Amino acid sequence: MIDIKLIREEPELVKENIRKKFQDEKLVLVDEVKAFDEEYRKVRKEADDLRAKRNSASKEIGALMKQGQREAAEQLKEEIKQVGDRIVACEKREVELDELIKERMLVIPNIIDPSVPIGKDDSENVEIEQFGQKREFAYEIPYHTDIMEKLNGIDLDSARKTSGNGFYYLTGDIARLHSAVLTYARDFMIDRGFTYVIPPYMIRSNVVTGVMSFAEMENMMYKIEGEDLYLIGTSEHSMIGRFIDTIIDEDKLPLTLTSYSPCFRKEVGAHGIEERGVYRIHQFEKQEMIVICKPEDSMLWYEKMWQNSVDFFLSLDIPVRTLECCSGDLADLKVKSCDVEAWSPRQKKYFEVCSCSNLGDAQARRLKIRTKGADGKTYLLHTLNDTVVAPPRMLIALLENNYNEDGSINIPVALRPYMGGKSIIK
């Protein structure tokens, strides 16, 4: 959510930002917010003036009563009653206007960073850099679920019976590999100075609307029937929500946190042959990194965070690239974002495995996450998030890049201590 001062003082800047995101249908919201805000301030001033008048009249009534001028005092009381009625009407309208403003402000997109490329959708995202050496294969690499099934590592048929499409059973060494990746990711981030956290897996609606846009919520979140609780789609949600309405000590900044959680997603609109298997699923596990920092430090941390993801995959001998998200592909709260994509030797293309985002003060504004400067004034902090790793999708890249002609899988050196010393899965 942007600062309403931008709409008051620079409405054309806000409109131009909306155009850059190709959301012209939202242009009218800027004018509506501006008009509602002007009325809100007028009504609030009127209410303040009337309250001051009522306070002054109350003192005058007391003085008149002491002087024995009861008739004049009663007349003034009647006038003040009418003032009171008008104050109630003003206060009611204030609440109405505040809600109208909030509804619109929540869907006006955040101001994107000037470095973000302009484009309509993800087809116009821009490659930044490639990392790692692509391995050459003289033999065909099977589809990832076929690899897993031959290793007795996955059971999709039973999962369809118990839970439906988009679920899975991982078994044996593949299940162990899945857990090894997550444990290694935890230690990898701890070694980089991040504090390990296991957060709640459900959050209330006020946290949901604080951390994401309505469109994202509708397409992602599962609601617990009969309760004000949602299953998290990523641990970022509850990790940022942890600091709702909090003033964090400035000398404790930045907060650098890494969290583990299961994640639950509707995955509305998922389709296509590459969506089968474990590429798009309703339930998975993830290691995340979260940073809460001063505004002037957020871009520095943005660069550090995506580099952490790149380094993690390179440590497992998986080639990756970074892809800058264009304006039309940015979620409304994001200032800047890039994807880390892993190389698929089977498909001869990259696919997304991590997403790094700088949200500026959007989440902090919604959730009131602040700090206090040396001058004693409070100000909003910036929030960032990035995926360390999200198996089982990441296993696709690991299996394909370490696949042997006989169907066995080489275990990357970094994972072997977490696999009981094993170097290969047969």
Query: CATH homologous superfamily for 4-105?
Result: Serine-tRNA synthetase, tRNA binding domain (1.10.287.40)
Whole-angstrom distance, CA of residue 279 vs CA of residue 159: 15
Domain residue limits, the chain: 4-105, 122-425
Whole-angstrom distance, CA of residue 4 vs CA of residue 365: 11
CA-nearest of 250, 269, 244, 265 to 365 is 244
Residues 6+ apart with CB under 8 A from 112: 17, 20, 21, 327, 330, 334, 335, 336
Whole-angstrom distance, CA of residue 187 vs CA of residue 172: 23
Whole-angstrom distance, CA of residue 151 vs CA of residue 235: 31
The token duo for 31 is: 């004018």
Whole-angstrom distance, CA of residue 306 vs CA of residue 310: 6
Residue in the block written with tokens 């709409």:
7
Give the pLDDT of residue 278: 87
Quick one: CA torsion of 32, 37, 38, 44, rounded to 10 degrees? 150
Whole-angstrom distance, CA of residue 320 vs CA of residue 352: 9
Residues 58-111: tens digit of each pLDDT: 777 777 777 777 777 667 776 777 778 889 999 999 999 999 999 999 999 999
Give the pLDDT of residue 164: 87
Residues in the chain where the model's pLDDT stays below 70: 73-74, 78, 214, 268-276
Residues 292-339: tens digit of each pLDDT: 999 999 999 999 999 999 999 999 999 999 999 999 999 999 999 999
Give the pLDDT of residue 259: 98
User: CA 125 from chain center: how many Å?
Assistant: 19
Give the pLDDT of residue 57: 73
Whole-angstrom distance, CA of residue 58 vs CA of residue 366: 39
Whole-angstrom distance, CA of residue 180 vs CA of residue 173: 10
Residue in the block written with tokens 């990194």:
289
SS3 351: strand
SS3 98: helix
Give the pLDDT of residue 274: 42
Whole-angstrom distance, CA of residue 233 vs CA of residue 211: 11
Give the pLDDT of residue 268: 59
* CATH number given to 122-425: 3.30.930.10
